[in-house]
C-alpha cells in the first residue's frame, strides 16, 4: 500500500517497503564494512592478508653503536648501579605500547646522560626482565617515540 507525503509545493508517492529495504541493505553494508576494518586494524588475518606486526618500527642497535653515555648506562644496568638519577630503575609502564606487551613491572627505565643538558634529557634505555640480568633492552633517543633493540 502506498503512502502519500505532501510538501508545500510537491507531492510524491513513497513505497514504505522499498524505503525499509534500502535502509536494511545500507546498514548491513555499513556493519560488514565496519567489521572488516576492525579485523584489519586488530591485525587478524583476513582474506589471505598478512597480520600486522605487533611491534612495528623496532630496529636494532649494537651496544658499540650506542653513544658513549648509552654504553655506560648499559654497563651499569648489568652491574646493578649505582645510577646517576633517582628515577633510574623505576617501572616503565609501556603506555605508548611500542614495546612487546608484558605484565606491569617487567620493564624498567634508565637515563642515558645527554651532554650539555640540565635535566635528564630525552635518551633512555628500557630493559625487560630481572634488574641485573635483563631478557632484552631497548634504546630510545627521543623520549619513547621510537625504540631500537640493543644487541651485543
Catalytic residues: 109, 143
How many helices and strands (H and E) does the chain possess?
Answer: 2, 8
Cell of 28: 548491513
Taking alpha carbons only, the member of 135, 40, 144 closest to residue 99 is 144
DSSP of 79-136: HT---SSTTTTEEP--TT--SPP--TTSEEEEE---TT-SS--S-EEEEESSSSS-SE
| Rounded Cα distance, 82 and 37, in Å | 49
Q: Which residues contact 142 (CB under 8 A, 6 or more apart)?
A: 122
Q: Please name which of 150, 128, 126, 142 lies closest in space to residue 63, comparing C-alpha atoms.
A: 150
Amino acid at each position: 500500500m502506498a503512502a502519500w507525503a505532501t510538501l508545500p509545493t510537491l507531492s510524491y508517492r513513497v513505497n514504505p517497503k522499498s524505503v525499509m529495504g534500502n535502509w536494511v541493505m545500507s546498514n548491513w553494508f555499513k556493519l560488514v564494512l565496519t567489521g572488516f576494518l576492525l579485523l584489519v586494524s586488530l591485525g587478524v588475518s583476513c582474506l589471505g592478508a598478512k597480520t600486522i606486526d605487533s611491534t612495528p618500527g623496532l630496529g636494532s642497535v649494537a651496544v658499540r653503536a650506542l653513544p658513549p653515555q648509552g654504553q655506560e648506562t648499559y654497563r651499569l644496568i648489568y652491574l646493578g648501579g649505582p645510577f646517576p638519577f633517582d628515577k633510574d630503575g623505576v617501572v616503565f609502564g609501556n603506555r605508548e605500547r611500542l614495546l612487546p606487551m608484558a605484565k606491569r613491572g617487567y620493564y624498567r627505565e634508565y637515563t642515558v646522560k645527554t651532554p650539555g643538558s640540565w635535566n635528564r634529557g630525552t635518551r633512555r634505555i628500557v630493559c625487560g626482565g630481572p634488574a641485573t640480568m635483563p631478557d632484552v633492552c631497548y634504546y630510545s633517543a627521543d623520549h619513547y617515540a621510537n625504540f631500537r633493540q640493543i644487541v651485543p
